[in-house]
Structure 1
Amino acid sequence: MNKSTLALAVAVGVLAQQAGAAGFLEDSKASVSSRTYYFDSDKREGRSIPSNRQREAAEGLKFDYQSGFTQGTVGFGIDAQALVGIHLDGGKGHHPTPNTFSPSDTDGSATQEWSRLAGNVKARFSKTEAHLGGALMPNMPILIANDSRVLPQTFEGGTISSKEIDNVTFNVGQLEHATGRASSNSTGLAVNGGTQDSNQFRYAGADWKVTKDLLLQYYYANLEDYYKQNFLGLVHVYPIGTNQSFKTDLRYFDSSSDGKNGQTGYRFNNNNGFAKNPGEVDNKTWSATFTYTLGGSAFLLGHQRVNDDGGFVFLNQGSVVDGNGHNEGAGGASFYSFTDATVGSFIRAGENTTYGQYSYDFASLGVPGLKASIAYLNGQDIKAANGTGKDLSEHETDARIDYVIQTGMLKGFGTTLRHGTYRGDGPTLADEDQTRLIFNYTYSFM
């Protein structure tokens, strides 16, 4: 029994005596969600199957329960989550290993079913909440839980969020393990290329709502034996008129090596790009994004610059192996950047990326729930991995359409269709076309 499951069991026993307390049950929420997912990735490089073409479909089922809090100066509660993934079809030879869509069996084929159960205990004092367990899904500039496949990525540890000061939210925490979107097993934490795990990711930060239109952010994060990271952010929305605004989003990351980083097992692959000190974290990345909104239309334009010393770093356990050298399927991660696109990431050393997007909300035409967008990203000046030769480039075009039924028996049923076309220089920037078709539905019964 892992720590999160044990903590949940203890909490249920303690809280059972208070289950009738006002708030604990009355404020409870429970839901069942389904996600049907078709994923098609064509590498377009003529390489041998299975790495050339991936075609898979799967069904994800998720049960979520969130209690309210018991009465008293300090209120207590529990959150529980059960996840099941069912592999529907992959087609022989179309399931690469390791895989971030569904787990792989010992023979390299797709596992037909995978599941996990986790929970959190929580406490609330005044305007401060603490959560402890294995069903954490953080969403902060220095860490975003990935939810872009069949099942979501979850983390184990403890977090505290406080709003005791008006317009300021403080966040601190320590995370120790993660369960990947294509895995039933938790692993320690690492970066891309790191085969040894770390059991300590500490962070602290604050979101300050200076005015209703201006947000300032600062966060510090430390993944023991891998990296330290500082983040500064500014988001400002200037209201021009009715249904018209101009948004400015500025972000800056400063990351450096920590502890054993660079040693065998703790090396960062710098996103398969150049590094001044191979295997080590050494990066500064800034971005500026501007969005003009007029009615249902939104026009976005931005630029991101990765410095020349190494690639942008974030949590990614995709290279972690168990005691037998088996990959745990914990790959697949998100990071706080517009360049976290459908296919590419655009975060190698030296890279200058200019990006734009046009999106439209059809509610302006009387069709609520229907949205569409098209985006283009162009990355230049990528330093070659060996530090010699000409700079490389990459570009990607993404299209997306979403529709959520607004009324009737199927209210809330959503469909998403995404397609990305990526082209790049060299073997580490291989051309790829990717299509995703997703059906989502959530039924809330509490």
Structure 2
Amino acid sequence: MNKYLITAGALALSPFAQAELVKDSHATLGLRNFYFSNDFRDQAGSLGQSKTEEWAQAFVLDFKSGYTDGPVGVGLDALGLMGVTLDSGAGRHRGSSMIPDDGDGAANQWSRLGLTAKLKVSNTELRHGTLLPKLPVLTYNDGRLLPQTFEGTQLTSSELDGLTLTGGRLNRATGRGSSDRTGLAIAGGSRESDQFLFAGGDYQIGKQLTAQYYFANLEDYYNQHFLGLIHTLPLAEGQTLKTELRYFRTTADGANDSAAGRAAGYRVGGFTDDGDGKLDNHTWSAALTYAVQGHALMAGYQEVSDASNFVQPNQGSLAGKGSGGASLYLHTDRMLASFNRAGERTAFAQYSYDFAAAGVPGLKFSLMYLKGDDIRTTSGHDASEWERDLGLDYVIQSGAFKGLGLAWRQGLLHSQIDPNQEQNRLIVSYSLALF
């Protein structure tokens, strides 16, 4: 890998290569103003705090270069991230939910810079450096002011019609509310892993069906297989029925597969058979979405086997790192809960409407409800939870403020596992093209 990077650097220094790099390059400055409020009054007695309430401004400089000419194209991308605290008074900051904790409360500002070298041959691209993976086995989290980022190498190839292959290796992550890189872990694990391997592909079978298979290994924690099917059926003009089937099989790897390794911290949180922290999980889901004239109604069901929680990389259990905030590739991974606990059976439904169908382009609304039952607990009693989420988005379509985005998110969680919570997010965003 180092040999490729040295070659890339040498080419980029030549005047010809620089001209080719600049020709197709572009940069944007993203602005995101974020107000975050989470009312968790159930915890007031134990934490002395009944609410998190913070306001901050993000600046995201995203530079994407072109490629040098020739059979092997070389390029370099850069991602600059900075957050500035606007308000987070005493008693309203909690950990690093959105703004990093500097030991005495909320940090005034925080930043990071990510560089990504890239090589391209035909329809195959190799990227090394800062990555924002969006795959069934790993999805970066962008639910707060700044996105979570990963470090490593990713290869993507689309040489064959209808088939996209992806593989790579990651070894570090930076949380959405942090500037510090960490190793990788899972929820409940206190030890860092230095390697996440992944490979898989999406195969387009005709115009309506996509089949997916991926494999991932988080060293000393787990092996995970994923199978997915996505089918879109046209019913009539302007009407479609989309079907999504997902299945995950997750088993213990390395240290998590031994009693000594689990005792050292390579364990999964929550309920496990024999209370030993060993991973052993099947998770499947099915979702149907009917869409017509701006309306979309989704209904689905998910089932998690009862030997352990469903997991994907989550660094939130690493003490003092500010690395919390992870996403799961589940329909049930929502604002406040993920409905991924051992034994949990979840029914969910969502209604959304795009007001462009009524002559108001840029305005969208969504409402989702989820109900999970049969959650296995260490106390031996099954538990349940439900969540309701609202979303309202508007992007100004013309005039001086064209492209300005306004968003409101509101979530309510009632749970026998987590504290009852009510959360609000207000987001104003704008992207400015620099060149």
CA distance, structure 2, for counterparts of residue 119 and residue 371 of structure 1: 34
CA distance, structure 1, for counterparts of residue 385 and residue 394 of structure 2: 30
Question: Cα 1:166–1:382, aligned 2, differ >3 Å: closer, same or farther?
Answer: same
Equivalent residue letter for 2:207: K
Question: Cα 1:13–1:21, aligned 2, differ >3 Å: closer, same or farther?
Answer: closer
Corresponding residue of 1:111: 107
Residues 426-437 of structure 1 correspond to what in structure 2 (within 5 A)?
428-437=417-426
Give secondary structure in 2 for the equivalent of 1:353: strand
Whether the aligned pair in 1 keeps the contact of 2:296 and 2:351 (CA below 8 Å) is yes
CA distance, structure 1, for counterparts of residue 22 and residue 111 of structure 2: 27
Q: Of 392, 404, 414, which aligns to 1:401?
A: 392
Equivalent residue letter for 2:309: G
CA distance, structure 2, for counterparts of residue 248 and residue 117 of structure 1: 39
- Pairwise CA distance, 1:13: 6.2
Corresponding residue of 2:304: 306
- Pairwise CA distance, 1:110: 0.4
Give secondary structure in 1 for the equivalent of 2:428: strand
Question: Cα 1:150–1:9, aligned 2, differ >3 Å: closer, same or farther?
Answer: farther
Give secondary structure in 1 for the equivalent of 2:265: coil
Give secondary structure in 2 for the equivalent of 1:398: strand
Equivalent residue letter for 1:320: L
- Pairwise CA distance, 1:315: 0.4
CA distance, structure 1, for counterparts of residue 274 and residue 285 of structure 2: 22
Corresponding residue of 1:410: 401
Corresponding residue of 2:120: 124
Whether the aligned pair in 2 keeps the contact of 1:297 and 1:358 (CA below 8 Å) is yes
Whether the aligned pair in 1 keeps the contact of 2:11 and 2:74 (CA below 8 Å) is no
Give secondary structure in 1 for the equivalent of 2:399: coil
- Pairwise CA distance, 1:22: 6.1
Corresponding residue of 2:265: 265
Whether the aligned pair in 1 keeps the contact of 2:17 and 2:69 (CA below 8 Å) is no
- Pairwise CA distance, 1:23: 4.2
Give secondary structure in 1 for the equivalent of 2:255: coil
Corresponding residue of 1:142: 137
CA distance, structure 2, for counterparts of residue 233 and residue 224 of structure 1: 24
Query: What CA deviation, in whole Å up to 9, does each residue of 1:348-374 have, x standing for no partner?
Result: 111000000110000001110100011
Question: Cα 1:263–1:11, aligned 2, differ >3 Å: closer, same or farther?
Answer: farther
* Worse-superposed segment, 222-231 or 17-26: 17-26
Question: Cα 1:50–1:25, aligned 2, differ >3 Å: closer, same or farther?
Answer: farther
- Pairwise CA distance, 1:192: 1.1
Whether the aligned pair in 2 keeps the contact of 1:383 and 1:392 (CA below 8 Å) is yes
- The TM-score normalised by the length of structure 1 is 0.92
Q: How many residues align?
A: 428
Query: What CA deviation, in whole Å up to 9, does each residue of 1:21-42 have, x standing for no partner?
Result: 6642221121000111111111
Whether the aligned pair in 2 keeps the contact of 1:375 and 1:398 (CA below 8 Å) is yes
CA distance, structure 1, for counterparts of residue 11 and residue 177 of structure 2: 33
- Pairwise CA distance, 1:429: 2.2
Query: What CA deviation, in whole Å up to 9, does each residue of 1:223-256 have, x standing for no partner?
Result: 0001100000000000011110000000000001
Corresponding residue of 1:439: 428
- Pairwise CA distance, 1:94: 1.1
2:29 equivalent to 1:32: yes
CA distance, structure 2, for counterparts of residue 266 and residue 100 of structure 1: 24
Question: Cα 1:19–1:407, aligned 2, differ >3 Å: closer, same or farther?
Answer: farther
2:278 equivalent to 1:280: yes
- Pairwise CA distance, 1:105: 1.0
Question: Cα 1:51–1:217, aligned 2, differ >3 Å: closer, same or farther?
Answer: farther
Q: Of 315, 334, 341, which aligns to 1:341?
A: 334
CA distance, structure 2, for counterparts of residue 237 and residue 22 of structure 1: 43
Corresponding residue of 1:384: 377
Q: CA RMSD in A?
A: 1.9
Corresponding residue of 1:324: none
Give secondary structure in 2 for the equivalent of 1:79: strand
Corresponding residue of 1:243: 238
CA distance, structure 1, for counterparts of residue 251 and residue 60 of structure 2: 37
Give secondary structure in 1 for the equivalent of 2:41: coil
Whether the aligned pair in 2 keeps the contact of 1:8 and 1:119 (CA below 8 Å) is no
Identity score, percent? 44
- Pairwise CA distance, 1:263: 3.2
Whether the aligned pair in 1 keeps the contact of 2:295 and 2:354 (CA below 8 Å) is yes
- The TM-score normalised by the length of structure 2 is 0.95
Corresponding residue of 2:345: 352
Q: Of 88, 93, 96, which aligns to 1:95?
A: 93
Give secondary structure in 2 for the equivalent of 1:47: helix
2:202 equivalent to 1:207: yes
* Runs (4+) off by over 6 Å: 7-10
Corresponding residue of 1:153: 148
CA distance, structure 2, for counterparts of residue 160 and residue 421 of structure 1: 40
Corresponding residue of 2:171: 176
CA distance, structure 2, for counterparts of residue 126 and residue 25 of structure 1: 20
Corresponding residue of 1:216: 211
- Pairwise CA distance, 1:171: 0.2
Question: Cα 1:52–1:274, aligned 2, differ >3 Å: closer, same or farther?
Answer: farther
CA distance, structure 2, for counterparts of residue 267 and residue 302 of structure 1: 30
Runs of at least 5 residues in structure 1 that lack an aligned partner in the other structure: 322-326
Give secondary structure in 2 for the equivalent of 1:314: coil
- Pairwise CA distance, 1:46: 5.1
Query: What CA deviation, in whole Å up to 9, does each residue of 1:159-196 have, x standing for no partner?
Result: 00001111100001000100111111100011112121
Corresponding residue of 2:259: none
Give secondary structure in 2 for the equivalent of 1:24: helix
- Pairwise CA distance, 1:277: 4.7
Runs of at least 5 residues in structure 2 that lack an aligned partner in the other structure: 257-261
Which structure has greater helix proportion?
2
